[in-house]
Amino acid sequence: MKAKLLLFFILNINLLAIGQSTVLLKVIDSKSGEPIIGANVFAAKDSTYLGYTNANGEILLKVSHFPYKIFISYLGYQKKTLILQSSKTVTAFLERKDINISPIVVSTDSKNDFLRNYEIGRININTSLLEAKASFLGEDDPFKFLQIYSGVNFTTELSSNYTVYGSLPSENLILLDDIPVFNINHLGGFVSILPGNTVKNITFYKSFIPARYSGRTASVLNATLKDGNINTTKLNSHISTLAVGATIDGPIKKNKLTYLISFRRTYPDLFLNMFFDKKTKQYINFYDIIGKITWRLSKNLRLQLISYNGQDNFRINTQRTDSINDTIKGDKGSINTAARLGLSWQNNVVGLRLSSRINSNLLSNIFVYYSHYSFDYISDYRESKNYINSEGSEIDTNILQTSFGNFITEKAIKWTNILTIKQNLLLNFGIKLGLINLTPDKFYLKGYLSQITH
């Protein structure tokens, strides 16, 4: 009986494919050569929605006849019309265009339009929208763009922490190129960890979250970094009220190997110490280092290395020396005092992805990643007395050290696949093996007292 059911299932799939040809369509930015994620494809004859491009800018079309006319639409780009002549792979280059705002007309969609159109609950925020430059003190913040969508609220006026439909911020899954990130903020939430000019696309689910995103109940946000320009090298530097940074991307080998490197650091702390005495030093800063290398090994094989490192530091160091002159006891000498108080937290992320198109219907990915977040507090007080009295010389030393912190680490390897069964019917399947190490609190206390008499 089982064998008959399996044969019946296979025959059904084959019957669906009879009379249809498969065309792999790739959609590319004409200037940068970056694949365009989420470009919508329609049949020109009756505007039937055929689907949207995946993370590699690809979509598999099932075509019943040739020639077959389609058009491609994406916000911020000119609409492209193509005529498919055969089942060969087709590459479409979209050109950017200015967005002219016309009068707004509010209308309702028909029931059929709602059912056939886009994936419910999924929002694509592309480069054109990110260039709207939602910012704080001149620093582009792509996460702040989310506040224009219904149901998304920020915890405070200037924070990058957000809630969706009344949930907690901890219930949101944040991914950087499919790698979990446990903290997305600098300066306690005023600035997010990603400069706007490094992000190619943000995919945001605030409802109807796909099953492949497990572990969170409120929303999923996946920020995809740019692969790097395949044609020319570009340097983008900036200085704002808060930070200075630079992003460079370009080809190492044209059409084969590209890179993206970005660095950002705050600078006000470099001038802050000018207003204090030399014995007091303050360090209030954060930095980001982002890197991505994309190697197109062949037409259907691509290797990517993703890396991110960022840290916040809040520290103050003080030193002072006081003299001792006790006329009653006859003590003469000095007291040296040193104190240090500091907070720091950091993210470290690295991932390696191998993407392969097995055939026209199957896209496979093997992904290995490591993500680490840590928070540390340290307090250190040292006092040393060096004095001489009638009994001789003495050195007293007092030390008190306190520190606590926590960290979370995730290591994983996963194998994912996207199988196109027919138009608008995709099957996602795979397996993931992971290890999460969580240390909620670590506490350290040390006290030391010594006395040396000569």
Q: Is the pLDDT of residue 1 over 50?
A: no
Residue 232 has phi, psi (to 5 degrees) of -135, 160
We report the CATH number of the domain holding residue 129 as: 2.170.130.10
Lowest mean pLDDT among 16-25, 71-80, 140-149, 405-414: 16-25
Task: Specify the range with the lowest mean pLDDT, choosing from 146-155, 170-179, 184-193, 382-391.
Answer: 382-391
What pLDDT is recorded for position 267? 85
Residue with tokens 């002219």: 100
When comparing pLDDT for 16 and 176, which is higher?
176
Q: Measured between alpha carbons, how far is 94 from 131 in angstroms, rounded to an integer?
A: 18
Inside any domain, residue 13:
no
pTM (two decimals): 0.71
CB 165 within 8 A of CB 153: no
Q: Environment class of residue 380 by beta-carbon count within 10 Å: exposed (0-12), middle (13-18) or buried (19+)?
A: middle
Write down the pLDDT at residue 322. 72
Within-domain flag for 5: no
Round the average pLDDT of the chain to a whole number and report it.
81
Q: What is the pLDDT of residue 377?
A: 86
pLDDT reported for residue 128 = 64
Q: How confident is the model at residue 4 (pLDDT cuts 50, 70, 90)?
A: very low
Both 214 and 90 in one domain: the answer is no
Give 248-311 as a DSSP string: EEEEEETTTEEEEEEEEEE-HHHHHGGGS-TTEEEEEEEEEEEEEEEEEEETTEEEEEEEEEEE
How many beta carbons lie within 10 A of that of residue 119, not counting itself? 15
Residue whose C-alpha is closest to residue 359's, from 426, 429, 300: 300
Rounded to the nearest angstrom, the gap between the alpha carbon of residue 277 and the centroid of all alpha carbons in its chain is 40
Per the structure, the count of domains in the chain is 3
Task: Tell me what percent of the residues of the chain surpass a pLDDT of 70.
Answer: 79
Task: Give the pLDDT confidence score for residue 303 in this predicted structure.
Answer: 95
Three-point CA angle 214, 358, 34, nearest 5°? 75
Range of weakest confidence among 184-193, 250-259, 281-290, 359-368: 184-193
Average pLDDT (187-198) is: 80
pLDDT at 195: 83
Asked if 89 contacts 26 with a C-beta cutoff of 8 angstroms, the reply is yes
Q: What percent of the chain has pLDDT over 90?
A: 29
Give the model's pLDDT for residue 64. 84
Query: Encoding tokens for residue 37?
Result: 């994620």
Same-domain status, 126 and 215: yes
For residue 330 the two structure tokens come to 């006859």
pLDDT confidence band for 423 (50 / 70 / 90): confident
| Residue 109 predicted with pLDDT over 60 | no
The 10 Å Cβ neighbour count of residue 80 is 18
Query: Structure tokens of 300?
Result: 């259907």
**161 and 61 part of one domain:** no
Task: Give the type of residue at 160.
Answer: S
Quick check: 247 pLDDT over 90? yes
Categorize the per-residue pLDDT at 393 as very low, low, confident or very high, splitting at 50, 70 and 90.
Answer: low
159 in the same domain as 201: yes
Residue 142: asked if its preceding bond is cis (omega within 30°), the reply is no
Q: Is residue 8's pLDDT more than 50?
A: no
Q: How many helices (H) and strands (E) does the chain have?
A: 4, 27
Is 8 a member of any domain?
Answer: no
**For 142-151, what is the mean pLDDT?**
78
Average pLDDT score over residue span 112-123: 58
User: Residue 2 has what pLDDT?
Assistant: 43
Quote the DSSP letter at residue 77. B
Please determine, for residue 115, whether its predicted confidence score (pLDDT) is greater than 50. Answer: no
Query: Looking at residue 146, what DSSP letter applies?
Result: G
Q: Does residue 67 have a cis bond before it (omega within 30 degrees)? A: yes
**Alpha carbons 374 and 404: distance in angstroms, whole number:** 11
CATH at residue 64 = 2.60.40.1120
Name the DSSP class of 193.
S
Residue 12 within any structural domain of the chain: no
Q: Is residue 15 part of a domain?
A: no
**pLDDT > 70? residue 118:** no
Residue 426 and residue 338 in one domain: yes
Structural domain boundaries, residue 275: 233-454
Beta bridge pairs of residue 139: 136
pLDDT at residue 179 greater than cutoff 90: yes
Are residue 269 and residue 125 in the same domain, yes or no?
no
Judged on CB neighbours under 10 Å (0-12, 13-18, 19+), 445 is exposed
At residue 117, the pLDDT reads 44
pLDDT digits (tens, 9 = 90+) for 11-70: 444 444 455 788 999 999 988 888 999 999 999 988 889 999 998 899 989 888 888 999
The verdict on 324 and 379 lying in the same domain is yes
Q: Is 284 within the bounds of a domain?
A: yes
Claim to verify: residue 406 and residue 425 sit in the same structural domain: yes
3-state secondary structure 377-417: EEEEEEEEEEEEECCEEEEEEEEEEEEEEEEEEEEEEEEEE
User: Do 67 and 134 lie in a common domain?
Assistant: no
Check whether residue 150 and residue 259 sit in a common domain.
no
* Domain stop point among 225, 256, 278: 225
Helices (H), 18-116: 111-116
pLDDT of residue 365: 94
Q: Could you give the CA distance from residue 235 to residue 197 in angstroms, rounded to a whole number?
A: 11
Mean pLDDT in residue range 381-408:
73
Per-residue model confidence as pLDDT tens digits over 275-297:
767 777 788 888 999 999 999 99
The rounded distance, in Å, linking the Cα atoms of 309 and 327 is 57
Separation CA 306–CA 298 (nearest Å): 20
DSSP state of 11: H
Tokens linked to 33: 């050569």
Residue 395 lies in a domain: yes
Residue pair 139/240 in contact by the 8 Å Cβ criterion: yes
> For residue 385, is pLDDT > 80?
no
The SS3 assignment for 361 reads coil
* CA distance linking residue 61 with residue 27, whole number of Å: 13
> What is the identity of the amino acid at 161?
N
Q: What is the pLDDT of residues 310-347, one digit of tens each?
A: 999 988 888 877 776 665 555 667 778 888 888 888 99
Q: Are residues 190 and 51 in the same domain?
A: no
Token pair listed for 271: 């001038």
Residue 9 lies in a domain: no
Domain end among 157, 191, 225: 225
Beta bridge partners of 392: 389
Report residue 23 as tokens: 């065309």
Q: Are residues 350 and 448 in the same domain?
A: yes
Picking from 88, 116, 144, the residue at the C-terminal end of a domain is 116
* The length of the chain, given as a count of residues: 454
- Give pLDDT, residue 446: 63
